[in-house]
Amino acid sequence: METGSRRKFLGICLGGVLAGAGGGLLYTIFGYLAPRRDSNIRRAVSFPATDVPAGAAKFFEYNGKTAVLIRQKNGTVVALSAVCTHLGCIVQWQKDKEEFLCPCHGGRFSSTGLVLGGPPPKPLESIPIATANGTITVG
């Protein structure tokens, strides 16, 4: 192979490698910056109503985050995000006190998610539920 054609061949190979690397880099950047397709999709979750007896809390995964069902003293069931509104720790149910305690900085929430004390700036996020035929559907 002549020197000129060898250079031309190596130039073509190098160009192909650089084009492939550039395309891979752009694909990676786009994948990182583009919103996830299913990020706004809410998937409903269902439980038998008997899973949540009075005063008990049932923790579960809801759209990638921890949530909790609580049956109030009056029998109504509420669904809340279990993610503390301070810095995102998962709250724990204190059955004897009928309130949530955040183990990270001592934030306290009522059984309906209202802030009772500590640093959380706002209530636990409420999640809509529907109850029918002995089934609780969250979301």
Instruction: Give the interface with ligand FES as residue ranges (CB under 6 A).
Output: 84, 86-87, 89, 102, 104-105, 107, 118-120
State which residue, 124 or 129, has the beta carbon closest to ligand FES: 124
CB atoms within 10 A of CB 71: 20
In the complex, minimum distance from the CB of residue 123 to ligand FES, in angstroms, rounded to a whole number: 13
Name which of 52 and 85 has its Cβ closer to ligand FES: 85
Nearest approach, Cβ of residue 86 and ligand FES (Å): 3
Of 133, 117, 129, 108, which is closest to residue 50 (Cα–Cα)? 133
Shortest CB 53 distance to ligand FES, Å: 27
The smaller minimum CB distance to ligand FES, of residues 89 and 116, is found at: 89
The gap between the terminal CA atoms of the chain, to the nearest Å, is 69
DSSP-based three-state secondary structure for 132: strand
Tokens of residue 57, six digits: 């809390």
Residue by residue, DSSP assigns 22-75 as HHHHHHHHHHHHSPPTTTT----EEEEGGGS-TT-EEEEEETTEEEEEEE-TTS
Smallest gap from Cβ 106 to ligand FES, in A, equals: 6
Dihedrals phi, psi of 56, to nearest 5 degrees: -100, 160
Closer to ligand FES by CB, 113 or 120: give it.
Answer: 120
